Amino acid sequence: MDRALLLGARGLRAFGFGFAAVLIGVHLEKRGLPAGLIGLTVGLGLAAASLSGLATAALAARVGRRWTLAVSGVLMALTGVDLALATQPALLVFSGLTGMLGAASVDLGPFASVEQAVLAEAVPPAARNVAFARYSLTGGLFNAAGGLSATLANSLTWTEAFFFVYAALGLLTAALPMLMSQRVEAPAVAPAFGSFRPLIGLAALFALDSLGGGFVANAVIAYWLHVRFGVGAGLLGPVFAGVALLQTLSYEVSGRLSSRFGLINTMVFTHLPSNLLLLLIPFSPSLAWAIGLLMARFALSQMDVPARQAYVVSIVPPAERAGAVAMTGAVRGVAQSFGPALAGIAIGTAAFGVPFFAAGGLKIFYDLALFGAFRRRKADHER
């Protein structure tokens, strides 16, 4: 029951994030915000989403995980009401400070650190790998559905209605954790942040991976396809819809591979081939080859996500799980925050394939370093 409630909250939130990410920029523009303030709002939202997990991990250690998840839901509801009703620029910019703006990944925000710690308690250790895969699968499917639903919002009235729905989803995600059992709480009262020693090297490698990802954001890849092959929006839309579907389905495969071959092996030996494919994409002789290589790359590139999540919560004591997820997530988020500047450089050089070479090189180094440093360090349920 606890796991079902957690996945239910995950799905509702991901659905809201899916349509919010599509609508926020357009909605703020319709409210009269200039481009600079729109960028500031989204930037604040991304930064708050990355760092707010640290605050909620500390809060969970004091008041419990269920209450902390409920607070995250209330923050989502406040954000939705703000976006739906506010007209003053200051209030609209403030919506980003809650960490629940919806512009970030479904795995970033004040809920992420606590939710992943809860999931580790809600399932037996032997089922943890598959449980994290289903957690990512649920988020991916509902996020895609939310994005598709945003096509209905073709006026300011409709976008306001969508953000009222966003607020309602927040209240629902606040209520569901309160129905969970006491078993999802930390087994012992302890500080949220213990020794970071086991996590420092891991977090540094995650940051390197995120930095590499900044070079090959979807916008850069789309621009490269346009420059190299003259591809228009009519084809780019279906291509990236296919990419999202492949990534989502790969989560289920990841959980099964992790249970059979181990978490680190799954992270490295699915990620490494995807990055080798990344290096090959600029040499594509035709559009068909480019799309084929991209699809093959994206079918593998996100398999490390559920394995990474399961690994982080499994190398620290149970009471420190939320803090571990928060710390590694904050480091990844800070590295990702360099994305806008990197994207500007990358787009300018996209025709030459530079973003693919830079990203592939950094990510391959990450894979080899991760394997070299952590292959002997097993998660607690792998020993």
Going by pLDDT thresholds of 50, 70 and 90, the confidence category of residue 378 is: confident
pLDDT in tens, 312-333: 888 888 878 888 888 888 888 7
Range in 20-24, 198-202, 251-255, 343-347 the model is least confident about: 343-347
Question: Which of 291, 42, 3 lies closest to 134 in space, CA to CA?
Answer: 3
pLDDT in tens, 331-362: 887 777 676 556 556 666 666 788 899 889 99
Token pair, residue 279, equals 């290096």
Q: How far apart are CA 242 and CA 296, in angstroms?
A: 11
Dihedral sign for Cα 209, 214, 218, 222, please: negative
pLDDT in tens, 182-193: 888 877 666 666
- Residues sharing a CB contact under 8 Å with residue 73, sequence separation 6 or more, in sequence order: 9, 13, 111, 170, 171, 172, 173, 174, 175, 176, 177
Count of residues for the chain?
383
Cβ atoms of 246 and 295 closer than 8 Å: yes
For residue 108, pLDDT beyond 90: no
pTM of the shown model: 0.77
Q: Where are the domains of the chain?
A: 2-184, 197-374
Percent of the chain with pLDDT over 70: 91
Give the burial class of 234: count Cβ atoms within 10 A of its Cβ; 0-12 exposed, 13-18 middle, 19 or more buried: exposed
Going by pLDDT thresholds of 50, 70 and 90, the confidence category of residue 10 is: very high
Region 2-184: CATH code: 1.20.1250.20
Cβ atoms of 164 and 156 closer than 8 Å: no
Q: 3-class SS at 378?
A: coil
Q: How many CB atoms lie within 10 A of CB 90?
A: 8
pLDDT in tens, 222-265: 778 877 888 776 677 678 778 878 888 898 899 889 988 999 99
pLDDT attached to residue 233: 60
Percent of the chain with pLDDT over 90: 28
Q: How far apart are CA 74 and CA 100, in angstroms?
A: 10
Going by pLDDT thresholds of 50, 70 and 90, the confidence category of residue 293 is: very high
For residue 372, pLDDT beyond 80: yes
Tell me the one-letter amino acid at 305: V
Q: How far apart are CA 150 and CA 159, in angstroms?
A: 8
Question: Which of 261, 81, 273, 45 lies closest to 160 in space, CA to CA?
Answer: 81
Token pair, residue 260, equals 């059979």
- Average pLDDT, rounded, for the chain: 84
For residue 266, pLDDT beyond 90: yes
197-374: CATH superfamily:
MFS general substrate transporter like domains (1.20.1250.20)
Concatenated DSSP letters of 22-79: HHHHHHHHHTT--HHHHHHHHHHHHHHHHHHHHHHHHHHHHH-HHHHHHHHHHHHHHH
Rounded to an integer, the average pLDDT of 99-110 is 75
Residue with the larger pLDDT of the pair 352 and 130: 130
Tell me the one-letter amino acid at 279: L
Going by pLDDT thresholds of 50, 70 and 90, the confidence category of residue 286 is: very high
Tell me the one-letter amino acid at 247: Q
pLDDT attached to residue 103: 67
For residue 7, pLDDT beyond 70: yes
Question: Which of 98, 135, 129, 109 lies closest to 57 in space, CA to CA?
Answer: 109
Question: Which of 265, 276, 345 lies closest to 303 in space, CA to CA?
Answer: 265
pLDDT attached to residue 247: 85
CA 258 to chain centre: 20
Matching fold, domains 2-184 and 197-374:
yes
pLDDT attached to residue 104: 61
Residue with the larger pLDDT of the pair 233 and 95: 95
- Residues sharing a CB contact under 8 Å with residue 71, sequence separation 6 or more, in sequence order: 56, 59, 110, 174
